[in-house]
Structure 1
């Protein structure tokens, strides 16, 4: 990559992060930079951040969708139990990568027959796992998932140090 393009990209990041709340902003810092622009809706009460900047030169891992199956493949019919198990499964996948929750950059969650009561369950679970280091997140309501009893699935993008 040419020096001119690098300067433009760095300049763009500086412009993008002006007027934001960020945990780190140094290009050489190995931590993720969480960006929540002050002129946008604050997403943190709902368990996510607007954007996350990955450190320069970081390795990235993609975790496939984790459902609410336990180690035997059994699924509870209860949405909250499936969500809890799916996040436990995500934590197991993170552990296998040698990663921690604060290294997750992006979550995509899929919810069968989404409604506001389910959003409360999701927000609680995300905050329990991620604390203050809330990743960017997209929730996609779906009519069904891969297996009929599945009500929830979460996939993740992780930065490895």
Structure 2
């Protein structure tokens, strides 16, 4: 029997189902859920990849700082579209020079963003470089805002 966590986000009137089926390992320690099922009635928000640039376009040389800024940028662009981090169903995380230490930093950051709520589905892709010199991480999000919210 799969583990299914359905929840109402602060803005949802319909639920997202987060599923971690038996037969695969528990992804929670790595900050993601295996499957997220979103309601069909709603609006899909596709947020472009957000890097760790601050408002002035500057990048910290520190991975953890860039990751925190990228997640803050993601929150800002989602809110501009009427979505929240709790509406995110899928993330793509691009990491330059990926290591397990950077994975641990991602896990900590995801816990700060989602707290005890279920996390989105996520794929972490190690890459040799990103669009800008010095850019170490990029976070792309897909969110579903239910019709009642829209």
Structures share fold, TM-score greater than 0.5: yes
> Please, which runs of 5 or more residues in structure 1 have no aligned partner?
1-18
Establish whether residue 23 from structure 1 lines up as the match of residue 23 from structure 2.
Answer: no
Structure 2 counterpart of 1:108: 92
- Return the index of the structure with the highest Cα Rg: 1
Which whole-Å deviations, capped at 9, do the CAs of 1:28-86 have from their partners, x for residues lacking one? x7121101002210001110000000112221110000000001100001111000000
More helix by proportion, 1 or 2? 1
Instruction: Give matches, 1:1-161, under 5 Å.
Output: 19-24=1-6, 30-131=14-115, 132-161=117-146
Could you tell me the TM-score, scaled by structure 2's length? 0.89
Residues 106-115 or 56-65, more deviating:
56-65
Give me the whole-angstrom Cα distance separating, in 1, the residues matched to 2:118 and 2:81. 18
> Please, which runs of 5 or more residues in structure 2 have no aligned partner?
8-12
Which whole-Å deviations, capped at 9, do the CAs of 1:109-157 have from their partners, x for residues lacking one? 0000000110111111111111222000000000000011100000000
Q: How far is 1:160 from its partner?
A: 1.1
Give me the whole-angstrom Cα distance separating, in 2, the residues matched to 1:84 and 1:142. 19
Could you tell me the TM-score, scaled by structure 1's length? 0.83
SS in 1 for 2:57: coil
Which 4+ runs in 1 deviate beyond 6 A? none
Figure out how many residues of one structure are paired with residues of the other and give that number: 140
More strand by proportion, 1 or 2? 2
SS in 1 for 2:6: coil
Which whole-Å deviations, capped at 9, do the CAs of 1:73-112 have from their partners, x for residues lacking one? 0000111100000001011112112212111000000000
